[in-house]
Amino acid sequence: MSLFERIGGAAAVDAAVDIFYRKVLSDDRISQFFESVDMEQQAAKQKAFLTMVFGGPNHYSGQDMRKAHAGMHLTQMHFNAVIENLAETLKELGVAPGEITEIAALAGSVKADVLNQ
């Protein structure tokens, strides 16, 4: 079974998106990047992001990631904040530590694109 199926597929994404987005908006390290955006649109993007890191079908390309985050002057600190919020969300939802590690690794795979390295 794939990672995506093991953690519950689209239903798991649905359960995670509100919790994850709430954490991101409450995190002083990164909340300023989400101040001006429309909440519904942002939630849709978070869903697409979570689908990708949960190992689900997605059409994210490195170029998309690079373009979306260009000019934001993001650093390792910002990236860590997102990963921490992601891990906390998964813990709250009772996802097993082994799977959290797998998900964090998938999220880590886009780091160079997000940080424009």
Partner 1 sequence: MVEVEFNQQLYELEDGANLLTALEQQGVKLPNSCRAGVCQACLVQVIEGAIPHRAQEGLTTHQKAQGLAMACVCSLTGALRAQTPQEPAERFVSEILQRRWLKGDIVQLCINKPFEYQAGQYARLFSHPTNPGAPTELGRCYSMASLPDETHLEFHIRVIPSGLMSTHLAQLPLGAKLLVQGPMGNCFYQARSLDQPLLLAAIGTGMAPILGVARSALRAGHRGPIYCVMGAKEETGLYPLPGLHQVAAAPNVSLFYIVQQAGTYSDTYEIGDIYAKIRTLVPSMKGMQAYVCGAPSFVKKLKKQCFLAGANLKDIFSDAFLPS
Site string (29-68) toward partner 1, x via CB under 8 A: ----------xx--xxx-xx--xx---xxxx---------
Count of residues engaged in binding partner 1, rule: CB under 8 A:
22
Query: What is the Cα–Cα distance from 13 to 50, expressed in whole angstroms?
Result: 6
Handedness of CA 19, 23, 26, 31 (dihedral sign): negative
Answer whether 93's CB lies under 8 Å from 19's CB: yes
6 binds partner 1 (CB under 8 A): no
Span near partner 1 by CB under 8 A; candidates 11-19, 69-77, 78-86, 100-108: 11-19
Query: For the residues of 76-94, what is the DSSP string, one character each?
Result: HHHHHHHHHHHHHHHHHTT
Footprint of partner 1 on this chain (CB under 8 A)? Answer: 10, 13-14, 17-18, 21-22, 25-26, 39-40, 43-45, 47-48, 51-52, 56-59
